[in-house]
Amino acid sequence: MKPFAKLPKFVKNYYFLFGSFFLFWMLFVDSNDFVSQISLKQKKSSLESQKQYYIEKKQEVLQDREELTTNQVLLEKFAREKYLMKKSSEDLFIVVSED
């Protein structure tokens, strides 16, 4: 008895075999397979959320920059807090908390 005798006739068809092989190849073996597409979509959504975060941070920085260029009091406060700048007649004390 032949091993392929019990298979239905359409399974032995050349076009069915080629189509099945092609479908298997495109879904699992190809460089653009199904699993790769899913991981790329996840990475794309992650990058888009990062992009949105950086756009918001850019807006905050631009707003702070605008405020610093127009307000001298705020500019002095920023320089003292961020860069520890002081006037020549002042003493600077840095308090470090142990939390």
Output the DSSP codes for 15-34: HHHHHHHHHHIIIIISTT-H
pLDDT at site 1? 60
**What is the residue-level pLDDT of the chain in tens, covering all 99 positions?**
677 677 788 787 888 899 999 999 988 888 888 889 999 999 999 999 999 999 999 999 999 899 888 988 888 888 888 888 888 888 878 888 887
User: Are 32 and 39 spatial neighbours (Cβ–Cβ below 8 Å)?
Assistant: no
Q: What is the pLDDT of residue 47?
A: 98
pLDDT at position 89, please?
85
| pTM of the complete model beyond 0.75 | no
51 near 44, Cβ under 8 Å?
Answer: no
Domain ranges for the chain: 9-83
Residue 37 Cα distances to 28, 29, 47, 50, 98, angstroms: 11, 12, 15, 20, 48
